[in-house]
Structure 1
Amino acid sequence: MKIEIWSDVMCPFCYIGKHNFEQALEKLPFKNEIEVEWKSFQLDPTLDTSKPQNTIEYFKEKKGFPAEQASQMINQVAQMGKGAGIDFNFEKAIITNTFTAHKLLHLAKKHGKSNEMEEALFKAHFIDGKNVGDLEELVSLAENTGIDKDEARKALTTDQFDYGINQDIQEAKNNGISGVPFFILNGKYAVSGAQLAEVFADALQQTYKETVSPLKDLSQGGASCDADGCSM
């Protein structure tokens, strides 16, 4: 059963959703039958990597929120994070363009390390205060995740994965996805937002049950052929 997840490194709810989804998945007896594919999404493609901001500045300048309102929102998200086992450090978080970080995620997918890289990037951005738009920081993350640094540098400084990233973003638009995290379960059901683990568990169980259920035969006989021959 395949789960597609659209996410952006800069989205705290994506980090919370990831942890809650994983908590739900870990308790399910069919967890080893689940294939997870991470998809790219950019919340703010207009950001300039040469002009990083802190979280309060971003909310004030881009969203027009007063500093007090921005601080209140950040505190609320931090409390949600604690429930998912995440200690957000918004004071250190650097807001920047994430397109290059998505290149690293696509490289990690090539090496079967998508989930590890998602976690590494979220941790770097939200906890360690790393600039995930900086080339050297990303190369270091690649190396720490077991990816050759020279291969990473090449991937990050060329358009090798640009098409794949843009395809993910276009696919999101085609599916009417305007916010993340967004989960599509086996191409049939959708779950949006940082839901509780219980919600993810129920959705996964329902989808799995329908996926493995035997087909109901609506025919009434009829000529057919199989490996042993044909019958009328």
Structure 2
Amino acid sequence: MKIEIWSDIMCPFCYIGKHNFEQALEKLPFKNEVEVEWKSFQLDPSLDAVKTQNTIEYFKEKKGFPADQAAQMIGQVAQMGKGVGIDFNFEKALIINTFTAHKLLHLAKKYSKSSEMEEALFKAHFIDGKNVGDIDELVTLAENSGIDKEEARQVLTSDGLNYEISQDIQEAKNNGISSVPFFVLNGKYAVSGAQPAEVFADALQQTYKETVSPFKDLSQGGASCDTDGCSV
């Protein structure tokens, strides 16, 4: 069973949704039969790739929110984070274009470390206050995750994975995905937003059940034959 997840590193609900999804999956007996693929999405591709902003500045300048309203919203998200064990540090978070960071996520697929890298990037951005647009910071994250640092630097400073990122973004548009996190379960069902673990668990179980037994028998029995013979 395959789960595709569109998310952006600067999205706090994506971080919360990841934790809730993984908590639900961990308790299911078929967890080892689930393939998770992280897909790229950019909430604000217009952000500068070099200059950073703090979270309050970003909400004021880009969204037009007064500082006190922005602070209230951030406080509410921080409380949601605490409920799932995430200690958001919005005062340190640096807002920047995330395209380069998405290259690292795509490189991590080669090493089968997509989920680990997603977690490392969320932590770097939301908790440690790292600049996830900075090449040196990203190379360090790659090395800490067991990814060759020279390969990481080459990928991050070239256009090699730009197409893959653009394809993810275009696929989201083609499927009408305009907000993240967005989970697609086996190409059939969708779960949007940072849902509680229970919602993810129910959706995963339903999808798995239909994957194992794809046909719903609408008949009331009838004459048939199988490998052991025929019956009426």
TM norm. shorter chain > 0.5? yes
Residue 228 of structure 1 aligns with which residue?
none
1:171 equivalent to 2:177? Answer: no
Residue 67 of structure 2 aligns with which residue?
67
- Write out per-residue CA displacement over residues 181-228 of structure 1, whole angstroms, 9 at most, x where no aligned residue: 00000000000000000000011011111111154579999xxxxxxx
More deviation, 188-197/206-215: 206-215
Residue 227 of structure 1 aligns with which residue?
none
Residue 24 of structure 1 aligns with which residue?
24
Q: Distance in 2 between matches of 1:58 and 1:198?
A: 33
Q: Distance in 2 between matches of 1:26 and 1:112?
A: 18
In the superposition, the TM-score normalised over structure 2's length comes to: 0.93
Residue 226 of structure 1 aligns with which residue?
none
Following TM superposition, the consecutive aligned residue runs of length 4 or more in structure 1 with deviations greater than 6 angstroms are 217-221
Q: Secondary structure at the match of 2:107?
A: helix
- Write out per-residue CA displacement over residues 87-106 of structure 1, whole angstroms, 9 at most, x where no aligned residue: 00000000000000000000
1:117 equivalent to 2:117? Answer: yes
- Write out per-residue CA displacement over residues 119-160 of structure 1, whole angstroms, 9 at most, x where no aligned residue: 000000000000000010000000000011100000000011
1:33 equivalent to 2:33? Answer: yes
Residue 182 of structure 1 aligns with which residue?
182
Deviation at 1:111, TM superposition (A): 1.1
Residue 53 of structure 1 aligns with which residue?
53
Q: Secondary structure at the match of 2:10?
A: coil
1:149 equivalent to 2:135? Answer: no
| 1:66 partner amino acid | P
Residue 15 of structure 1 aligns with which residue?
15
Q: Secondary structure at the match of 1:106?
A: helix
Structure 2: gaps spanning 5 or more residues: 224-232
Q: Secondary structure at the match of 1:58?
A: helix
Q: Distance in 1 between matches of 2:123 and 2:217?
A: 49
Residue 90 of structure 2 aligns with which residue?
90
Q: Secondary structure at the match of 1:152?
A: helix
Structure 1: gaps spanning 5 or more residues: 222-232
Q: Secondary structure at the match of 2:65?
A: coil
Classify 1:169/1:214 alpha carbon distance in 2 versus 1 (closer, same or farther; 3 Å). closer
Q: Secondary structure at the match of 1:151?
A: helix
Q: Secondary structure at the match of 2:155?
A: helix
| 1:111 partner amino acid | Y
Q: Distance in 2 between matches of 1:98 and 1:216?
A: 44
Q: Distance in 1 between matches of 2:39 and 2:203?
A: 20
